[in-house]
Amino acid sequence: MEALSQLLSCARNEGFISSFRVRGRGKEGLIVFHLLFANDTLIFCDAEVDQLQYLSWTFMWFEAISGLKVNLSKTEAFLVGEDIPMETLALVLGCKIGSFPTTYLGLPLGVPYKSTRVWDAMKERFRKILPTYFLSLFVTPTRVCARLEKIQRDFLWGGGALENKPHLVSWKVICAAKNDGGLGIRNLAIFNKALLGKWLWRFANENEFLWKQIISSKYDLQDGGWCFKGVRDRYGVGVWKAIRNCWENFQSHSRFIVGDGTRVKLWKDLWCENQSLEEVFPTLFNLSVNKESWVAEA
The DSSP result for 49-88, as a single string, is HHHHHHHHHHHHHHHHHHS----GGG-EE---S-----HH
Question: For residue 142, what pLDDT band results from cuts at 50, 70 and 90?
Answer: confident
pLDDT at 64: 92
User: Helix crossing, 2-13 with 49-66: angle to 10°?
Assistant: 140
pLDDT at 76: 92
**17 vs 83, higher pLDDT:** 17
216 φ/ψ angles, rounded to the nearest 5 degrees: -65, -30
Q: Are 34 and 43 in contact (CB under 8 A)?
A: yes
Q: Which amino acid is at 296?
A: A
Task: For residues 120-149, give the mean pLDDT.
Answer: 83
Q: Are 163 and 110 in contact (CB under 8 A)?
A: no
How far, in Å, CA of 18 to CA of 33, rounded? 8
How far, in Å, CA of 216 to CA of 223, rounded? 13
Number of helices and strands (H, E) in the chain? 13, 8
272: helix, strand or coil:
coil
| β-pair type (76-77, 96-97) | parallel
Task: For residues 135-154, give the mean pLDDT.
Answer: 86
Contacts of 153 (CB under 8 A, 6+ apart): 159, 167, 171
With 60 as the cut, is the pLDDT of residue 47 above it?
yes
Task: For residues 133-156, give the mean pLDDT.
Answer: 86
Question: For residue 159, what pLDDT band results from cuts at 50, 70 and 90?
Answer: low
With 80 as the cut, is the pLDDT of residue 104 above it?
yes
User: Helix crossing, 116-126 with 142-157: angle to 10°?
Assistant: 20
Contacts of 46 (CB under 8 A, 6+ apart): 18
pLDDT at 26: 67
With 80 as the cut, is the pLDDT of residue 231 above it?
no
pLDDT at 249: 86
pLDDT at 195: 92
Identity of the highest mean pLDDT range in 101-115, 124-138, 202-216, 229-243:
202-216
- The closest alpha carbon to 250, from 185, 199, 187, 186, belongs to 199
Instruction: Kindly report the number of other CB atoms within 10 A of residue 22's CB atom.
Output: 16
With 90 as the cut, is the pLDDT of residue 123 above it?
no
* Percent of the chain whose pLDDT exceeds 70: 94
Task: For residues 242-252, give the mean pLDDT.
Answer: 86
Tens digits of per-residue pLDDT, 27-37?
A: 778 888 999 88
Task: For residues 168-184, give the mean pLDDT.
Answer: 87
How far, in Å, CA of 172 to CA of 191, rounded? 14
Instruction: Kindly report the number of other CB atoms within 10 A of residue 295's CB atom.
Output: 20
Q: Which amino acid is at 159?
A: G
With 80 as the cut, is the pLDDT of residue 162 above it?
no
Q: Which amino acid is at 50?
A: D
pLDDT at 235: 59
Question: For residue 59, what pLDDT band results from cuts at 50, 70 and 90?
Answer: very high
How far, in Å, CA of 246 to CA of 249, rounded? 6
How far, in Å, CA of 93 to CA of 105, rounded? 23
List the domain boundaries for the chain: 2-99, 106-250, 255-298
